[in-house]
């Protein structure tokens, strides 16, 4: 079975948000259009408590972009974003949410960040995503969303490791580019690790039905 995964299309990652991905809003119509082609649709949401260790504001003397050690893991510090219950943590109202069957919340532990929709950054705690996809007999994952060089990147790598045939839909993702070539490096690495990079227009040809 094929599934569409929509990563973190939340207000804070869109223009005007606290951690805006440049042109992040441009992918929303592309994702809305893709949705009709799938029967299994899952979305993830970054869902941080206000005291989250990835926020620069919780580390006096640090600013976003600094890198620290957070419980022995290298951690880039971000502006406050996707705080549980805040408007910035909502899925974009422009995203069609009617067809999404399951939402995966991540990043709830203040001690460890969680870029991937499958695991925390220490690969210790698993979300319910893999179990859900297994229950639905999903073997091929089509991945979209934000940000291409952070949460999408880590989700794609975990999907490959878990054995999914993994497609990244290149016009349905955008990168934050904290460093200017982060997204191109991430795309190259995903491809090198076995992800198929395709455009939304190619999707019908790839669907098993
Ligand atoms: C993300 C930075 C921090 C993302 C989440 O969804 O790509 N990026 N938290
Ligand atoms: Zn986050």
Ligand 2: centre distance to CA 55 (Å) = 8
Of 2, 20, 35, 62, residue with least CA distance to 150: 20
| Domains of the chain as residue ranges with CATH | 2-50+87-205 (3.40.50.850)
Give residue ranges with CB within 6 A of ligand 1: 8, 13, 19, 46, 78, 146-147, 150-151
Query: Is the pTM higher than 0.85?
Result: yes
pLDDT of residue 47: 98
pLDDT of residue 51: 98
Ligand 2: centre distance to CA 49 (Å) = 10
pLDDT of residue 207: 81
Over the chain (209 residues), the average pLDDT of each successive run of 10 is 98 98 98 96 98 98 97 97 98 98 98 98 97 98 98 98 98 96 98 98 80
pLDDT of residue 206: 74
pLDDT of residue 204: 77
The phi, psi pair for 37, rounded to 5°, reads: -85, -5
Contacts 24+ apart (CB under 8 A), 19-23: 19/78, 19/79, 19/81, 19/82, 19/176, 21/146, 21/147, 21/174, 21/175, 21/176, 22/174, 22/176, 22/177, 23/174
Provide the angle, in degrees to the nearest 10, between the axes of the packed helices 182-192 and 151-161: 10
25 is catalytic: no
37 is catalytic: no
Of 70, 152, 156, residue with least CA distance to 113: 70
Ligand 2: centre distance to CA 6 (Å) = 15
């Amino acid at each position: 079975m094929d599934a569409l995964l929509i990563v973190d299309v939340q207000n804070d990652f869109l223009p005007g948000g606290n951690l805006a991905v440049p042109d992040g809003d441009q992918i929303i119509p592309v994702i809305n259009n893709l949705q009709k082609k799938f029967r299994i649709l899952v979305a993830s949401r970054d869902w941080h408590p206000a005291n989250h260790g990835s926020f620069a504001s919780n580390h006096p003397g640090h600013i976003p972009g600094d890198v620290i050690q957070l419980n022995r893991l290298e951690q880039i510090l971000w502006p406050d974003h996707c705080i549980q219950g805040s408007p910035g943590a909502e899925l974009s109202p422009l995203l069609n949410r009617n067809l999404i069957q399951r939402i995966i919340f991540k990043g709830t532990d203040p001690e460890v960040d969680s870029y991937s929709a499958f695991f925390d950054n220490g690969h210790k705690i698993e979300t319910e995503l893999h179990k859900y996809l297994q229950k639905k007999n999903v073997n091929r994952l089509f991945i979209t969303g934000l940000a291409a060089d952070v949460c999408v990147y880590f989700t794609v790598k975990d999907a490959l490791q878990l054995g999914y045939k993994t497609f990244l839909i290149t016009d349905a993702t955008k990168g934050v580019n904290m460093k200017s070539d982060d997204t191109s490096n991430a795309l190259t690495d995903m491809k090198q690790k076995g992800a198929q990079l395709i455009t939304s227009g190619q999707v019908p040809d790839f669907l098993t039905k």
